[in-house]
Chain A
Amino acid sequence: MEWRMTIVLTKEKEKIGTHVLVIGVGRYPFLLNGEGPPEKQFEYHGGMGQLTSPPRSALEIAQWFATKHKHPDDKPIRTLELLISGTPNTFMTSAGQMIAEPATMENIRKAIKRWRDYGNFQEQNLLIFYFCGHGVSTGNEQLLLAEDFGSDKDDPFRHAVNFSGLHIGMRDCKAKWQCYFLDACQTVSQTYLDQFGYEAQGESIIVRPVSSNLRNTEQPVLLACALGAKAYGEEGKASFFTQALLSAFKGAAAKDNGYGEWEINTAQLRGGLNAFLERMVERGYGKEQVARDDKLAKPFSLHALDGKPLIPVDVACGDRDRTEEISFECIHSGSVVRLSPVGGKLRIWEIELPPGEYDFRARHRSGEPPPPSRDGVTVHPPHQLVLFKCP
């Protein structure tokens, strides 16, 4: 059976829990190379076109929340809503296959209002907002572009969410804990500033009066990249930021709660995200992409790990070009636990390890004297870099 719908999951939504809204926009019919009628193409596209990463990114994040999320203070997922423009857009639920509704402005508006209403059920609720798609940033303001952005040439920004306005409007929501992930380019568009000036502001969606809820709300925002940089992804794969987020949830952003139990909190996330994003730079994916916070906010717990975290560990020669001449081994409690692969142009040996103390040995493939080993390396979140002085 197959449904076209937005709500993926809903369970006792009036009880304390977590409410997740995931939006992925890859198809933009009115932007560059869009499938809309040629005469309706938006002239001021600013180079923005079709994206392949957002649908997959949105699906992977939604899947993670549906199947892996576990809150340390028992805030199970109560609702999960998913909007996707582009493909893939099918989501498997226990009831069968579901096709996500497209992320048009109208659908986004309705979903955000529902999500706010769910949040209003309980003060201790946790709200998660995730957006992946085109974004336009001007200084401190972020605009998130819906699928139908550009369809109205006279007023293009009526199909964009003014995230800064939404964020401030959501301060009136009862849900105390709100976390926002923006996986979008933060590109400053001089084109838009010049062409639309002050009017390029999008729709805040939630406009509320001042209330007592203001003083209770914590609203950290994690942005995919520093202002002005572009969020990157590989064709047809989840974006780097989303991969980084999933890696952070696996362990790169974990913190020991004092009982040998590991939790992910909002403050640790940036370190975990950036550990992965730095890997992307080292792997050769071009420009530096850095996750950053957008608001000063008190940290809070998001997720509890079932076991030990898996921490990204990168092993290499100081001069990365020499790494392919070396084979590495990783030793824990006297036993070899990992061996670097043989052959290939390896610049960095990337592995994941549980926390602990490890010894690393290196051997020249040509039989030359090995560089000194690195013993007693502490592996702990967010990341460990093990460099050898290769002669």
Chain B
Amino acid sequence: MLRAPDATPLRRGSSAWLAASGAIALLVLVPLGAVAATALRESAGLWQHLVTYVVPVAARETLILLAGVGALVTVIGAGTAWLVAAHAFPGRRVLEWALLLPLAVPTYIIAYAYLDILHPVGPVQTALRSLLGFDSPRDFRLPDIRSMPGAIVLLGFVLYPYVYLPARAMFVMQSASVLEAARTLGIRRRALFFRVALPLARPAVAVGLTLALLEALNDIGASEFLGVRTMTVSIYTTWATRSDVAGAVQIALAMLAIVLALVLLERRARRQQRYAADAQHPRPLEPTPLGGLAGMGALAVCLAPVAVGFLAPFIYLVDAALDRIRFAGVSEAIVREALNTVTVSLIATALTIAGGVVVAYSARLSRRRLAQSFARAASLGYAVPGTVLALGVLPVATALDAPLDRVASLVVDGSVGLLILGSGAALVYAYVVRFLALAIGGVESGLSRVSASLDDAARTLAAGPGARLWRLHLPLVRPAVAAAAMLVFVDCMKELPATLLLRPLGFETLATHLYGEAVRGTYEDAALAALLIVAVGLLPVILLARLGRVERQRDHVPITGLETL
């Protein structure tokens, strides 16, 4: 990670940016505050119960899950990134972007898909039995996937791109000279990765790992389905089964405190280290050719995560969807659902990115702690489970709806009802709060590569902060902004718990449709919806991959939007 160039001191005009950034941070904090306030309510005398029977189990399960997923995504993400960044082998150019494909697969979909694929009566075990000569699954079957190991493997194989993306960017960016210098010092090629490349890439890996772990921590669909009782699942059951919102929020806040402590700890540990190479003009790494068996090995290693995290579930979904279409046809509703999904995700993405630009740019303009604090506060939504966030947005939206309705009733006859909740604005609001961290991080990382001297030059031309952003920074960080936008879009599409609670009456998205079928155990009925979620998510992921390549051709560093949080 580059050290941010010295931010320019606070100048005239930047206070408006600071105020805007503060307002955005406030928009994030209000629903979180509303949730926190419910924690103070009576928890039906259950706190003792939660502490004794729920939290210890949930904490242990969560830690095991995170440790497992963390190890897996780091090994897969950093390993494949190093292979494609520093080596030349058959298929590398395709794998470079194909390794991103699992990003398009929501965790709950991979869980449903693999239960079917690997079930004793599913295709894999049936074939295996006939191969080995067993008649009945009672004589031979593989371990059940509805278990902690199953959850770790499945989450690991769809979340590793969060590490792969920034790690690859970092490896590509590491100037060849550092590695060559290491080599002249007698470090062998294999040791090069562990002793030089990986330590240098640590900030990128750490950031990607943080995102992957937050996804795993806040995941509800896959964990619940696979029978893993994480903190998030416990929050959910405490709320849903016992109608105990206060108790649920108490667990959520405890969890948030732990998350923030871990993130801060990691940042502090990294602060001791300096990572400033001559990275403004790196000489690109000359890939080491891998021929013969080594090349085939590299191909196999990189192909495996794509196959497990994307190809197998995708092929399964296509097959299941075709089956379904043959059996029940295509409903008109699904087209509307797809349009709803795309529309609401696009609007949320546009607003999220706009907010991210304002917050990140304001943090660059002002050196004051306040601007940095705003940026961190505005990023908090990503650390909170979607369910909890939705419970916060709900009262905020309806509190705004009351005065809005009163104002509107002066103009039109009668009540206009719930404008914010009813129009989907509440849903968009929840998405923005939840994913703003991705936008802020992406734009910040892009801006950090723009030299401060450019700002100074522009200022001597009497360009104000707005003009500088529009004419200087935005064109320069466009790839970073675009990358962040695509990530946000994919995440909005996949989002489930907040969508379920906050969508307007009669408004169905692909994810809510799928969930409606899944809760009655008929997720195969929704195979087409699942396939569409993955397919629509694919487009931005492929664009994201192309973006990385175009950047690289320009001899720039690929900017991914994931390098800072």
Tell me, yes or no, whether A binds B.
no
Residues of A within 8 A of B (CB): none
